Each structure stands twice: as structure tokens, then as C-alpha cells.
């Protein structure tokens, strides 16, 4: 009988190095499931802007309607399973943009806030905004600015100032999406 020495025995190391451990695979699946849950927190309009496979889009719509904790948990597992076929990097970037966590989204938010404050402080700022946004409804914009200034003067809640900010944000977002 011939005995093999320990050095002659085939090792399992090359196989182990080739594939991730079970714990690593579980962490990856959990991360995909968490990403699916982040997608659920987005509004329908934000989800519509993200390029998703139709099956994943339907699973997200189904999960949004579920009320039972257990049913929602199972649906999230299914969403995590569907996410395995999708590249998560563009989805994370789209979620960051939609939630305002990306540097570009934060920069856009600050720009719109500065423009709103400039519009409320001085009429000359309107010419700069109109130069950047040709085709804007000037009459509606001036009416909103006047109403926001009245709110500031009277010490009322800034409803029209928020409306002005939303309009600026919408205009610049559409402009970025068009390019």
C-alpha cells in the first residue's frame, strides 16, 4: 500500500481562492437587498428616471403596495434576487442623485438656493436667470418673486419662496437631463 504524503495530496486552496466565501456571498446579497429597499423609498417620478429591467420595476411596484411585514420581507428578498442580474453601480449613483446625496445634487441644491435668494433680494438677478433659462415664463416667475417678497416682508411662512426654489430646481434638472 502506497501512502501519499501531505505535500502530494491535492489541495482545496485554488478552489477557495476562486470563489468568495459563503459569508461574503451573504453580505453581497444583503447589500443588494438593501439597495432594493433604497429604491423602494424613491418616488414614482424618481423611479421612472432610472433605467431598470421591467421585472424589477414590477417587483418594486408590488412591494410598495404590500402592508404585511412578512410579505414585504419576502418581496425584498425577491427584489434582491432580481438585483443580481443588474449592475448596482449605476443604481447607487441614481439613488444618490435622487436623494440629494451626490456632490452634483448638493451643488445643484446650493445653486438654486443662491439664485432664489438673489432673486428675492434684487431685480437685476432676474436678467441673469432668464439668460440661463431661455423660454421661461417671465410673467409667472415675476409674480412668484413678488409673492415671495411679500411673504418675507409680512413675516409669513415662505410658501412662494419654496415654490420658486422648486421651479428653479426643476428647470436646471431638466436642462441637465436634456444634455
- pLDDT tens track for 99-143: 766 677 788 889 999 999 999 998 888 888 888 888 888 899 999
Q: Residue 147: pLDDT band by 50, 70, 90 thresholds?
A: very high
Q: Can you tell me the distance from the alpha carbon of 146 to that of 51, in angstroms, rounded to the nearest whole number?
A: 40
**Domain annotation covers residue 2:** no
Tell me if 33 sits within 8 A of 81, measured CB to CB. Answer: no
**Domain annotation covers residue 3:** no
pLDDT at 9: 52
One domain for residues 121 and 72? no
- Domain range for 88 is 21-99
Amino acid at each position: 500500500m502506497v501512502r501519499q504524503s501531505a505535500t502530494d495530496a491535492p489541495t482545496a486552496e485554488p478552489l477557495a481562492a476562486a470563489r468568495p466565501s459563503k459569508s461574503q456571498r451573504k453580505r453581497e446579497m444583503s447589500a443588494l437587498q438593501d439597495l432594493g429597499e433604497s429604491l423602494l423609498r424613491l418616488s414614482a417620478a424618481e423611479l421612472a428616471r432610472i433605467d431598470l429591467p421591467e421585472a424589477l420595476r414590477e417587483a418594486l411596484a408590488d412591494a410598495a403596495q404590500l402592508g404585511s411585514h412578512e410579505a414585504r420581507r419576502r418581496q425584498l428578498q425577491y427584489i434582491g434576487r432580481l438585483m443580481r442580474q443588474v449592475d448596482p453601480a449605476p443604481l447607487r449613483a441614481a439613488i444618490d442623485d435622487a436623494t440629494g446625496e451626490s456632490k452634483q445634487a448638493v451643488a445643484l441644491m446650493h445653486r438654486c438656493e443662491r439664485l432664489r435668494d438673489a432673486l428675492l433680494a434684487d431685480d437685476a438677478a432676474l436678467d441673469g436667470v432668464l439668460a440661463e433659462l431661455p423660454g421661461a415664463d417671465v410673467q409667472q416667475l415675476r409674480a412668484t418673486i413678488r409673492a415671495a417678497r411679500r411673504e418675507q416682508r409680512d413675516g409669513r411662512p415662505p410658501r412662494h419662496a419654496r415654490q420658486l426654489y422648486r421651479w428653479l430646481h426643476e428647470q436646471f434638472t431638466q436642462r441637465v437631463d436634456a444634455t
